[in-house]
Chain A
Amino acid sequence: MKNTWTIAKKELKTFLYSPIAYILTAFFLLVTGFFFYNIVAWVNEQSMRMMQYGGMEQLNVNRMLYEPFFNNMTIILMFLLPLLTMRLLADEKKMRTDELLFTAPVKMGSIILGKYLAALLIYAVILLLTATFSIFIFLYGNPEVASLLTGYLGLFLLGAVFIAIGLLASSLTENQVIAGVIAFSSILLIWVISWVGESAGPAWRGILTYLSFFSHFQNMVKGVIDTQDIVYHLSFIFLGLYLTYSIYEFRKWR
């Protein structure tokens, strides 16, 4: 555990000392902020209309504002998180610093977990920053806090899965760009795999829909916490980390 933290600390330091951290965060906030503003503007327009024609009781900030916002955010995360994870292991190999890590009395698992933890922490901070958008919603409206938190939990878990996939991609190559491309395409494919399911037979439909991130995330956005969804995300994270570990073990013996 101590070693995991040592690795994570170093990772956070190298990340914070490079301009990537700030540029990524700034652009992420810019883009998500833009979407947020747009949706708020749309909700505003809708509520004006409803004030004129009645039907105010149908207006629900959570459904009208946060559901589309969270859905938009997943798309941005799909682009952003591979950029965050692509250097994690690829760069160690390229700089040949893996020789230091793997000849130190530290378990392979600690190294991988440390790297994962660092990326997760950075992601958590970026996610927290987007929460500042909601200050205004709370000032001028009364969204339901519980379902908002569930949505954020969903986003956090989804991002955690993306990071695990990104880490795995980063272990496959010493080229950061390749790692980023692999991560992005894998996430996208798993995302849309349910589309294939719709045209497939009923047996496949169930499996493919279960495999896709989409359905599990939708529940959380709607404010439903189902253990099945939590288990889905956690097992995906575990699988990603375990495969990363196996790749290093395998490579040693090759």
Chain B
Amino acid sequence: MIEVENLSKKFANIEAVRHVSFKVEKGKIWGFLGPNGAGKTTTMRILTGYLPPTEGRAVINGIDVSLDPNAIKKMVGYLPEVVPVYPELTVREYLRFVAELMGIERRKIKFAVERVVEKTNLREVFPRLVRNISRGYRQRLGIAQAIIHEPEILILDEPTIGLDPAQIVEIREMIKSFRDSATVILSSHILPEITEVCDGAVIIKDGRLMATLTREEWGKNLEIVTATAGTKLNLADFKKKFPAIQEIRPESHSLRLEFKQAGEDVNRILKYLIDKEVRIREVKSGFEALYLKIIASEDGRVA
């Protein structure tokens, strides 16, 4: 469980984080979303005890990060934006070093290293110098060092940045596998990543909290992109036919639907549209449109 209350961080002349509050339940994966320079990394650094907050507090499993940073550091695993590796060491030496650093007992180190090597698929590069392993392996090594002490909390700063699509899928699957065993916060500016992996998202911009959304909430939204501009569709009829639809917002090349609740079966709706000769090009989660609206707004409130 992670609770952030009224958190602020001021650097010499910039306010990187301004009065941010949110809560992440135990065993959930939450996304941390926002444009570059929004304060994602700073907030994460505060959560890991790397930086102290200027104001407010961050509480992890009931312990205030500023009051007992060492207890926090023991239960938090952290993958920074730049994977903190020593190119001169081999993968094996590096993981042993991190294991020792995290306070794992000497006789358990070998086992701990084996476990993460298995989990993150590093067997192939195990004896090699970190300098010589590829970007994808390096990122996996970053995750390996973050989970070596079996943390209850996992903080991942842009875990898939700079990876190819196959590697992205692989890392995402890995992150999903942490659900239930750990509470995860991951930052990203790739929207599908959030909708696919996360149970909820915190959206920040210019250091301010814009919105917190749950899977439930964005699940209610659907965007149907059409090939032609406008439709001859009678919206009133359409809405009458599907009582699950709360609202329909037609736009030039898309129809945005909002359902009364998440998990609506959209097949029937699509069939209806096809029968009405609407040329559908793409069906996507309404998250993207929602996100862009939130980011464009002043205070995160979306009409």
A residues contacting B by CB (< 8 A) are 2-3, 6-7, 9-10, 13-14, 17-18, 95-107, 252-254
Q: In the complex, which range does the number of interface residues on chain B fall in?
A: 20 to 34
B145 — which chain A residues lie within 8 A by C-beta? 100
B272 — which chain A residues lie within 8 A by C-beta? none
Report how far A99 CA is from B77 CA in the complex, Å.
Answer: 12
Tell me if B78 and A252 are in contact (CB < 8 A). no
- Say whether B5 faces chain A, with CB atoms less than 8 Å apart: no
> Shortest distance in angstroms between A8's beta carbon and chain B's nearest beta carbon?
11
Tell me if B84 and A99 are in contact (CB < 8 A). yes
**Known contacts A13-B93, A99-B78, A99-B80: A106-B86 contact under CB 8 Å:** no
A13 — which chain B residues lie within 8 A by C-beta? 88-89, 93
Judged by DSSP, the binding face of B is: loop
Between A13, A95, A104, A252, the greatest number of chain B beta carbons within 10 A of the residue's beta carbon is seen for A104
Judged by DSSP, the binding face of A is: helix
* CB-nearest residue of chain A to B102: A104
**Known contacts A99-B78, A103-B76: A14-B103 contact under CB 8 Å:** no
* CB-nearest residue of chain B to A106: B101
B11 — which chain A residues lie within 8 A by C-beta? 254
What total of A-B pairs shows CB separation below 8 Å?
Answer: 69
Report how far A98 CA is from B84 CA in the complex, Å.
Answer: 8
- Which of B43-51, B111-119, B223-231, B234-242 is the contact stretch? B43-51
Between B48, B89, B100, the greatest number of chain A beta carbons within 10 A of the residue's beta carbon is seen for B100
**Known contacts A10-B89, A14-B86, A17-B89: A101-B101 contact under CB 8 Å:** yes
B45 — which chain A residues lie within 8 A by C-beta? 99
* Residue from B12, B81, B103 within 8 A of A105 (CB atoms): B103
| Given A103-B50, A103-B76, 6 new contacts (CB under 8 A) | A3-B101, A6-B100, A6-B101, A97-B86, A99-B84, A104-B98
**Known contacts A103-B73, A105-B73, A252-B52: A18-B86 contact under CB 8 Å:** no
> Shortest distance in angstroms between A76's beta carbon and chain B's nearest beta carbon?
26
Report how far A104 CA is from B12 CA in the complex, Å.
Answer: 26
* CB-nearest residue of chain A to B10: A254
- Say whether B19 faces chain A, with CB atoms less than 8 Å apart: no
* Residue from B70, B74, B93, B98 within 8 A of A100 (CB atoms): B98
> Shortest distance in angstroms between B230's beta carbon and chain A's nearest beta carbon?
51
Report how far A17 CA is from B103 CA in the complex, Å.
Answer: 25
- Say whether B278 faces chain A, with CB atoms less than 8 Å apart: no
**Known contacts A17-B89, A105-B103, A252-B51: A95-B84 contact under CB 8 Å:** yes
- Of the A-B pairs whose beta carbons lie under 8 Å apart in the complex, a sample of 15, sorted by A's number, is A2-B100, A6-B97, A9-B97, A14-B86, A18-B88, A95-B82, A95-B84, A95-B85, A99-B80, A100-B80, A100-B101, A104-B102, A105-B102, A105-B103, A254-B12
A107 — which chain B residues lie within 8 A by C-beta? 70
A99 — which chain B residues lie within 8 A by C-beta? 45, 50, 78, 80, 82, 84
> Shortest distance in angstroms between B127's beta carbon and chain A's nearest beta carbon?
14
Report how far A149 CA is from B194 CA in the complex, Å.
Answer: 66
Report how far A85 CA is from B102 CA in the complex, Å.
Answer: 25
* CB-nearest residue of chain B to A254: B12
Residues 233-282 of B at the A interface (beta carbon under 8 Å):
none
B101 — which chain A residues lie within 8 A by C-beta? 3, 6-7, 100-101, 104, 106
Between A9, A102, A103, the greatest number of chain B beta carbons within 10 A of the residue's beta carbon is seen for A103
* CB-nearest residue of chain A to B129: A17
A9 — which chain B residues lie within 8 A by C-beta? 97
* CB-nearest residue of chain B to A100: B84
**Known contacts A96-B80, A100-B84: A14-B51 contact under CB 8 Å:** no
Report how far A168 CA is from B193 CA in the complex, Å.
Answer: 43
Report how far A102 CA is from B69 CA in the complex, Å.
Answer: 10
Tell me if B102 and A95 are in contact (CB < 8 A). no
Report how far A96 CA is from B11 CA in the complex, Å.
Answer: 19
In order of increasing CB-CB distance, the 7 nearest A-B pairs are: A100-B84, A96-B82, A105-B73, A97-B84, A99-B80, A14-B88, A104-B101
* Residue from B50, B52, B88 within 8 A of A253 (CB atoms): B52
* Residue from B73, B86, B93 within 8 A of A95 (CB atoms): B86
* CB-nearest residue of chain A to B100: A6
